[in-house]
Amino acid sequence: MIKKLLRSLARLAPGHAHGHGKAGAHDPQVYKASKVGIDRHNVSSAANRTVEGLQKAGYRAFIVGGAVRDLMLGMRPKDFDVATDATPEQVQRVFRRARVIGRRFKIVHVLFGSETIEVSTFRALSADNQETDAHGRVLNDNTFGEQHEDATRRDFTINALYYDPLSDTVLDYHQGVKDLKARLIRMIGEPSQRYREDPVRMLRVVRFAAKLGFEIDGATRAPIAHLARLITNVPDARLFDEMVKLLQSGQAYKGLEGLREHGLHHGCLPLVDAVLEPEGSDEERESALRFVRLALASTDARVLAGKPLSVGFLFATMLWHLVRHAWHQKVAQGERPITALQTAIDEVVDHQLADLAIQKRIVADMREIWMLQPRFEKRVGGTPFRLLDHLRFRAGYDFLLLRIEAGQADEALGQWWDEFAQADHEARLEMIKAASKLPGQPAAKRRRCRRTPRLEQPSE
Ligand code: ATP
Ligand code: MG
- Whether residue 22 is predicted with pLDDT greater than 90 in this model: the reply is no
- CATH 3.30.460.10 intervals, the chain: 2-182
If DSSP codes are grouped into helix, strand and coil, which group holds residue 155?
Answer: coil
The atom number, within ligand 1, closest to the CA of 81 reads 14
Q: How much distance in Å is there from the Cα of 359 to the middle of ligand 2?
A: 22
Q: Note the pLDDT of residue 139.
A: 65
Average pLDDT over residues 267-290: 83
Q: Note the pLDDT of residue 255.
A: 94
- Whether residue 268 is predicted with pLDDT greater than 80 in this model: the reply is no
Question: CB–CB of 101/88 below 8 Å?
Answer: no
What is the residue type of 346?
A: D
If DSSP codes are grouped into helix, strand and coil, which group holds residue 430?
Answer: helix
pLDDT bracket for residue 267 (50, 70, 90): low
Average pLDDT over residues 390-403: 94
Q: How much distance in Å is there from the Cα of 66 to the middle of ligand 1?
A: 6
Distance, in Å, from the CA atom of 288 to the CA atom of 403, rounded to the nearest integer, reads 10
Q: Cα(first)–Cα(last) distance of the chain, in Å?
A: 76
Q: How much distance in Å is there from the Cα of 213 to the middle of ligand 1?
A: 17
Distance, in Å, from the CA atom of 360 to the CA atom of 401, rounded to the nearest integer, reads 26
Distance, in Å, from the CA atom of 24 to the CA atom of 86, rounded to the nearest integer, reads 24
Which CATH code for domain 191-265? 1.10.110
Helix 411-422 and helix 393-405: axis angle, to 10°? 150
The mean predicted confidence, pLDDT, of the chain is: 86
Give me the active site residues, please. 79, 81, 155
Q: Any bridge partners for residue 100, and if so which?
A: 108
Among 12-16, 140-144, 373-377, 410-414, the range scoring the smallest mean pLDDT is: 12-16
Q: Note the pLDDT of residue 130.
A: 65
- pLDDT tens-digit readout, 2-20: 444 444 444 333 333 333 3
pTM for this prediction: 0.83
Distance, in Å, from the CA atom of 114 to the CA atom of 419, rounded to the nearest integer, reads 38
- Whether residue 1 is predicted with pLDDT greater than 60 in this model: the reply is no
- CATH 1.10.3090.10 intervals, the chain: 278-435
Average pLDDT over residues 385-405: 93
Q: Which CATH architecture has domain 2-182?
A: 2-Layer Sandwich (3.30)
If DSSP codes are grouped into helix, strand and coil, which group holds residue 457?
Answer: coil
Question: CB–CB of 170/30 below 8 Å?
Answer: yes
- Whether residue 23 is predicted with pLDDT greater than 70 in this model: the reply is no
Among 260-269, 287-296, 320-329, 417-426, the range scoring the smallest mean pLDDT is: 260-269
pLDDT bracket for residue 138 (50, 70, 90): low
pLDDT bracket for residue 308 (50, 70, 90): confident
Q: Note the pLDDT of residue 187.
A: 98
- Whether residue 446 is predicted with pLDDT greater than 70 in this model: the reply is no
Question: Which residue among 63, 70, 75, 81 has the greatest number of ligand 1 atoms within 8 angstroms of its CB, and so is best to mutate?
Answer: 81
Ligand nearest to the CA of 249: 1
In angstroms, the Cα distances linking 68 to 47, 107, 108, 226 are 12, 19, 19, 32
pLDDT bracket for residue 238 (50, 70, 90): confident
- Whether residue 450 is predicted with pLDDT greater than 70 in this model: the reply is no
Question: Which residue among 204, 207, 234, 241 has the greatest number of ligand 1 atoms within 8 angstroms of its CB, and so is best to mutate?
Answer: 204
Average pLDDT over residues 230-239: 87
Average pLDDT over residues 87-107: 92
Among 314-318, 324-328, 451-455, the range scoring the smallest mean pLDDT is: 451-455
Instruction: Enumerate residues lining ligand 1, CB below 6 A.
Output: 65-66, 81, 154-155, 159-160, 198, 200-201, 245
Question: CB–CB of 313/399 below 8 Å?
Answer: yes
DSSP state of 423: S
Question: CB–CB of 259/251 below 8 Å?
Answer: no
As a three-state string, the secondary structure of 102-132 is CCCCCEEEEEECCEEEEEEECECCCCCCCCE
Among 105-109, 236-240, 329-333, the range scoring the smallest mean pLDDT is: 236-240
Q: Which of 140, 40, 34, 151 is nearest to 85 (CA)?
A: 151
Q: Which residues contact 149 (CB under 8 A, 6 or more apart)?
A: 9, 122, 123, 124, 125
- pLDDT tens-digit readout, 99-130: 999 887 899 999 999 999 999 999 988 755 56
Average pLDDT over residues 276-295: 89
The string of DSSP letters for 258-295 reads HHHHTT-STTT-HHHHHHHS--S-HHHHHHHHHHHHHH
Within 13 Å of residue 153, how many CA atoms lie on the same side as its CB? 21
Using CB atoms within 10 A of its CB, is residue 190 exposed (0-12), middle (13-18) or buried (19+)? middle
Q: Note the pLDDT of residue 458.
A: 32
For the four alpha carbons of 346, 348, 354 and 357, in that order, the dihedral sign comes to: negative
The percent of residues in the chain predicted with pLDDT above 90, rounded, is 67
- CATH 1.10.110 intervals, the chain: 191-265
Q: Look at 439 and 61; give whichever has higher pLDDT.
A: 61
Greatest CA span in the chain, whole angstroms? 92
Q: Note the pLDDT of residue 55.
A: 98
In angstroms, the Cα distances linking 143 to 1, 104, 124 are 17, 10, 6
Average pLDDT over residues 350-371: 86
Which CATH code for domain 278-435? 1.10.3090.10
Average pLDDT over residues 340-364: 86
